[in-house]
Structure 1
Amino acid sequence: MQASRRRLAMALSGLLLGAATIGLRAAAQPQEQVIKVLARRFTYTPNKLTLKKGVPVILELTTADVLMGFNAPDFGVRADIIPGQVARVRLVPDKVGTFTFFCDIFCGSGHETMNGTITVAA
């Protein structure tokens, strides 16, 4: 009888320790940052994004103009921005530096100047 109580106590201790470890890991994960980006002829607002390495980001891309694109090739991220809809793009910056994003769908004369930068700090 005493041996089975001891085993039960050890099993419960193990479960509690495991649950505490999972809780600590979950608390240590960075919270997703949400950034709203408006695309319009021929600019993004904001056109300079400052992010932190390893912190997940959701970009909420919108436009009221025509179909536009968002391409950040250094992060393997691309989306169509459809008028009246929100395009949600998730990225986790994995390198430090300054990188370019741009519209990759022709949206009129001036399209070639539609770009911005993502600066990632450590």
Structure 2
Amino acid sequence: MQASKRRFLIGVPLAASALLLGAAQGKPQKERVIKVEARKFRFAPNVIEVRQGEAVVLELRALDFAHGFNIPELQTRIDLVPGKTVKLRLQPAQAGRFGFLCDNFCGAGHEEMAGTLVVTA
């Protein structure tokens, strides 16, 4: 067998072992990015699904007005400024359904500007 082929066959299991070992030692995992747009009177998407313990970054962008993004049960809140993207890092520790809403009055349909963060085990 050629030396380069032998090194490849040995290197693949070693690389896989290193990845598994890194995960077992609590190395930071890559964050999943989820883009969310806010406009009168809705969030898109209005249902966000993540896994329990998954590291995610919500990239939130207000398209028309200064909105708020609030997940009361997770004690998480951020202001959204029109035309700017803000990042909110989450790593939900518990499974469940958590409502989110705009908490900056934005007009007659404001009460309907809400959604759900679904965290699965």
- In the superposition, the TM-score normalised over structure 2's length comes to 0.77
The residue aligned with 2:61 is 62
Partner of 1:103: 102
Please tell me the root mean square deviation across aligned C-alpha atoms, in Å: 1.5
Q: Partners in 2 of 1:77 and 1:67 — Cα distance?
A: 17
What do residues 44-90 of structure 1 show as CA deviations (whole Å, max 9, x unaligned)?
A: 00000011000111101001201000001222211110001111111
Alpha-carbon distance in structure 1 between the residues aligned to 2:42 and 2:49: 17
Structure 2: where are the runs of 5+ without partners? 1-17
Amino acid at match of 2:44: T
Identity of aligned residues (%): 44
Which structure is larger by alpha-carbon Rg, 1 or 2? 1
Aligned counterparts of 1:74 and 1:95: Cα–Cα separation in 2: 11
Code of the residue aligned with 1:120 in structure 2: it is V
Aligned equivalents of 2:36, 2:71: Cα separation in 1: 13
After superposition, the C-alpha distances for 1:15-68 in whole angstroms (9 at most, x for unaligned) are: xxxxx7xx62255x4321110000001000000001100011110100120100
Which amino acid is 2:117 matched to?
A: I
- Aligned pair count? 100
Q: Could you tell me which residue of structure 1 aligns to residue 7 of structure 2?
A: none
SS of 2:111's equivalent in the other structure is helix
Mapped pair 1:34 → 2:40: no
Give the gaps of 5 or more residues in structure 1.
1-19
